């Protein structure tokens, strides 16, 4: 049988039999893989070191006749060990892994792998606020799925104005002008950053974002609920 090699991130691990585990692994080359890691729960298993959560690893596997293949070897590339030193970051890491796993099909594009890898790097950097990381990650999921809101023009077709207030129209996926609106120019600027190609460490350098991100987080989550299987 042909041995295939790629890079992987563990999405889930399920104990199987006396010493095996069934793994769901996200890869940039093959999408999601479901592989059995035989004997991995034994003390001297050579596979165990390369299937840690919050890590990237080189993996070699054999495709199965059905949907379940076999993991042959692993080699750890990077373990984001500082995540596990803070409970809130560990929980957010679990949440982001589960969210990506639920919201993607079996063959997601390589950009989803890159997104999760960048999320790990951000969680590993304790200077970056977890609320910002979550909002950025959810915005990027929407973007990858083709559901970026219109953050240039309002629901009436007019350019967004710094002199107006807005509410959000989920059907139009755009802001709607309202004298009693919840969102102002700074909220819209922050939303543009979260949906941009900037990474969290860059966004975190912008002064005064904390309160704005807290206000925008429920909005982004509602967009996610409306448009993505989560």
Does the pLDDT value for residue 225 go beyond 80? yes
Dihedral sign from CA coordinates of 210, 212, 215, 219: negative
Which of 139, 71, 72 shows the shortest CA–CA distance to 99? 139
Ordered domains of the chain (ranges, CATH) = 4-79 (2.40.50.140), 84-227 (1.20.1440.120)
pLDDT at 44: 86
Report pLDDT digits (tens) over 174-199: 999 999 999 999 999 999 999 999 99
Whether the predicted pLDDT of 230 surpasses 70: no
pTM over 0.85: yes
Backbone φ and ψ for 15, nearest 5 degrees, come out as -60, 140
List pLDDT tens digits, range 29-50. 999 999 999 999 998 898 988 9
């Amino acid at each position: 049988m042909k041995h295939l090699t790629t890079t992987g991130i563990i999405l889930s691990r399920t104990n199987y039999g006396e010493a095996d585990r069934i793994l769901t692994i996200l890869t940039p080359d093959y999408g999601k893989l479901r592989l059995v890691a035989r004997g991995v729960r034994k003390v001297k298993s050579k596979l165990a070191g390369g299937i840690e959560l919050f890590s990237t690893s080189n993996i070699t596997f054999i495709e199965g006749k059905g949907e379940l293949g076999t993991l042959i070897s692993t080699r750890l590339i990077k373990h984001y060990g500082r995540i596990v030193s803070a409970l809130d970051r560990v929980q957010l890491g679990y949440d982001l892994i589960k969210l990506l796993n639920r919201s993607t099909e079996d063959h997601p594009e390589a950009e989803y792998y890159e997104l999760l890898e960048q999320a790990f790097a951000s969680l590993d950097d304790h200077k970056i606020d977890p609320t910002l990381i979550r909002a950025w990650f959810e915005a990027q999921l929407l973007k990858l799925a083709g559901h970026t809101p219109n953050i240039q023009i309002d629901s009436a077709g007019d350019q967004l104005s710094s002199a107006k207030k807005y509410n959000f129209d989920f059907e139009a996926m755009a802001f709607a002008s309202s004298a009693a609106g919840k969102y102002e120019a700074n909220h819209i600027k922050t939303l543009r950053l979260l949906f941009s190609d900037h990474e969290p460490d860059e966004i975190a350098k912008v002064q005064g974002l904390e309160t704005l991100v807290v206000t925008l987080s429920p909005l982004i989550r509602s967009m996610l609920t409306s448009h993505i299987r989560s």
